[in-house]
Amino acid sequence: MDTVCNLSSGEWSDQVLPRVTGYKPRHVVRRVASQTVTKVNPPIGIAFITLLYCAEISSACVVSYAYSCSNDVFWLSLTLLLMLIPAVMDQLTLIFVNRDLTSDQPFILFMHLVLLGPLIRCLEAIVMFCRLGKEEEPYVTITRKKQIYKDAEIELEQEVGHLVRRLVTHRNAFKRMAVIQAFLGSTPQLTLQLYVSVVEQEVPTSRAVLMCICLVSVTYGALVCNVLAIQIKYDDYKIRLHPLAFICIILWRSLEISTRITILVLFGSVFKYYAMGIGGANFLLFFFLPWVQFWWSGAQLPDNVEKNFSRVGTLSVLFSITLLYAGINIFCWSAVQLRLGDRELIAKSQNWGCLALFYVFRGLENSVLLVVWYFFMTDVYAYFCAPFLVLQLIVAYCLAIAFMLFFMQYLHPCRSLFTHNVSDFLQCVCCKRDEAPEPLDLEPPWEPGVKHSIV
């Protein structure tokens, strides 16, 4: 897995620092790197994201050809639409992060135009990685990151070379591409193909391959989404996730997203138009919520989204961010709260209230959809044990919430910076407080001319 910057940080980067809960760092120890950073991890994540991108587009084309042969124009149109929209968004993301519009690279722009930008970017990253350390280069920037160690924060200052900086930019661009591909392409595509399979009661090989690729893309994209959210909130810190934390996030997100998709498909197979209305209402709610908060706060549009950006360019970027935000929240918790009027666009605080509110209402929504499906299901599900299926989905969603709470309490890399944690909330809500002893009504003896006091 790619970490925040994937940089070698001298002797401190090779240590696995212990994590201790219940404290806050009190002083900062500063260490300066003695030489320019030249060692980074191999671009395995970039290659894996590119492989998923090419595999999903190829399998979607095969499924579309099958739909065209069977004259299913409606399913053909939706499959192509859900393939092209995220592909175009991926190209725009890579162009925006790498700032290609201000550079003279016509071949790369042409590759993006034919939707092959990730492939050429992946090859470019591999070439840059092979060139690292073979030639001396002056550093172009200095990075400062903090690591939490016992009761101190160790600040690492490093000189970063030009190739390392470009490679880190490629990693960041592909991480954002993975999130866009997962929640604007793979998740809707998986929902659509699963719905078609349920309605037609048939799963061809090409469709099964497409659904498997989408499932892998969704799982990886959800993992990257969580890691990116932590990195953005704690940008000053060097984030290190334990392998157990990765497993916990994968279980949390896979259970949450799979149960959500299954419930929507089951409900849609009985009430197709109502399911489309519920999905559209969820999308519109989460899309316009940041804009309503922005309008209500009376703030101005941020002018630091990108240098030399006009007002139209800034609005386009904010529109794309809210589009992705809404697409994520339809299926799972986005792990961030947008603040369009703020400089960073994302709230840095850990908002437990929004987290609890989201999961309470999403749990109620899923339960209502399941109950309605159970009472109005058709003969398609005659060979299924409906009560057991409902129980499985409810238990799976509860397990997803349990894994989330476990990650927040024990495996979050910056949990020591939380003002309150899950255990504090449970201690206030679930545990009984010791009852204060009732005061005794003692009356002092009365004697004239004497003042008595009871201490």
Q: In this predicted model, what pLDDT tens digit does every residue of 245-270 receive, in sequence order?
A: 999 999 999 999 999 999 999 999 88
d(CA 256, CA 252): 6
Provide the residue ranges of all domains of the chain, joining segments of one domain with +.
Answer: 1-16+34-138+165-240
Q: Which residues contact 252 (CB under 8 A, 6 or more apart)?
A: 400, 403, 404, 407
State the DSSP string of 6-42. Answer: -B--HHHHTS-----SS----EEEEEEEEEEE--B--
- Mean pLDDT over the full length of the chain: 80
More confident site: 181 or 336 = 181
Per cent of the chain over pLDDT 70 is 77
Q: Which residues contact 387 (CB under 8 A, 6 or more apart)?
A: 374
- pLDDT computed for residue 39 by the predictor: 72
How many other C-beta atoms lie within 10 A of the C-beta of residue 43? 23
**H or E, element range at 143:** strand 139-149
* pTM for the full predicted model: 0.82
Please give the DSSP secondary-structure letter assigned to residue 349: S
d(CA 297, CA 342): 10
Minimum mean pLDDT range among 78-87, 102-111, 306-315, 387-396: 306-315
- Confidence bin at 304 (pLDDT 50/70/90): low
Exposure on the CB side of residue 177, measured as CA atoms within 13 A: 33
More confident site: 409 or 298 = 409
- pLDDT computed for residue 190 by the predictor: 95
How many other C-beta atoms lie within 10 A of the C-beta of residue 291? 14
Bridge partners of residue 31, in order along the sequence = 156
**H or E, element range at 158:** strand 152-161
The pairing of beta strand 152-161 with beta strand 27-37 = parallel
